[in-house]
Amino acid sequence: MGSIFITGCDTDIGKTFVSVGLCLAYENKGLKVGYYKPFQSGAYKRDDVLVAPDIYELKKYSSIQTKYSYLFKGEISPHLACLINNIDVDLDKIKNDYEEFSKQFDLTIVEGAGGLYCPACKGKLFCDIIKFLNLETIIVTTPKLGRLNHLLMTIECAKLNNIKIKGIIINSMPENPSLSESKFIDELSLFTDVKVLGVIPDFEKFDKAKIIQSFTSVEL
């Protein structure tokens, strides 16, 4: 099946939740799944061990293997973390880490940070990282008012950078959507032919069984 890069049309859009959901659902289907994150910010100490928060979220619910290449403290962009800590990112390390890790699995979920034009490291945006790893991408959005603009710009950004889009996942669809939320897919289809892979409901709390059920229909 290969690898998929998870990006978003904004920050705090649910990339980690979608990554976890896909990992759990496809593991449940019997595939060997891995999760790789080139850059992880927001690390914190737990029992004197530095914890990668996104990886910790997955580890709470699964024994799926995980890996990151660079881990930073603080809720800041990877680019800013590199500047503050005077770190020169080695792109060859990222590629080698990814290739050695991903060859163990049927499916590897690779998660970015922010969106395609979010700075990743000195002189590189996340769209550059995707191209460097030669991956297809899934774009995560929510159906909130204003997201259509961000989503369409992200799609155009991907096309301009020759990044193949696997599709879109619409995250956090309310149980009782507003008019604009309920018509989000209809409006989207007027402006792009990029496929909607799945619509994930808004979860008040993490329910592993329901999340697996919600992501099982997402075809990669």
What tens digit of pLDDT does each residue of 62-89 get?
Answer: 888 989 898 877 677 788 877 777 778 8
Is 37 part of the annotated catalytic residue set? yes
pLDDT of res. 220: 87
pLDDT of res. 48: 64
pLDDT of res. 54: 66
pLDDT of res. 53: 67
The encoded tokens of residue 75 equal: 């809720």
Say what angle helices 91-102 and 126-133 make with each other, to 10 degrees.
50
CATH number at residue 138: 3.40.50.300
Residues of the chain with pLDDT under 70: 42-56, 74
pLDDT of res. 186: 96
Kindly name the residue from 37, 124, 131, 208 that is annotated as catalytic: 37
Q: How many domains does the chain have?
A: 1
What are the tens digits of pLDDT across the range 151-184?
A: 999 999 999 999 999 999 999 999 999 999 999 9
Collapsing DSSP states into helix, strand and coil, what is residue 88? coil
The encoded tokens of residue 57 equal: 């979220």
Dist. CA 183–CA 189, nearest whole Å: 10
Collapsing DSSP states into helix, strand and coil, what is residue 75? coil
pLDDT of res. 12: 84
pLDDT of res. 78: 80
pLDDT of res. 76: 72
Show the domain range for 54. Answer: 2-216
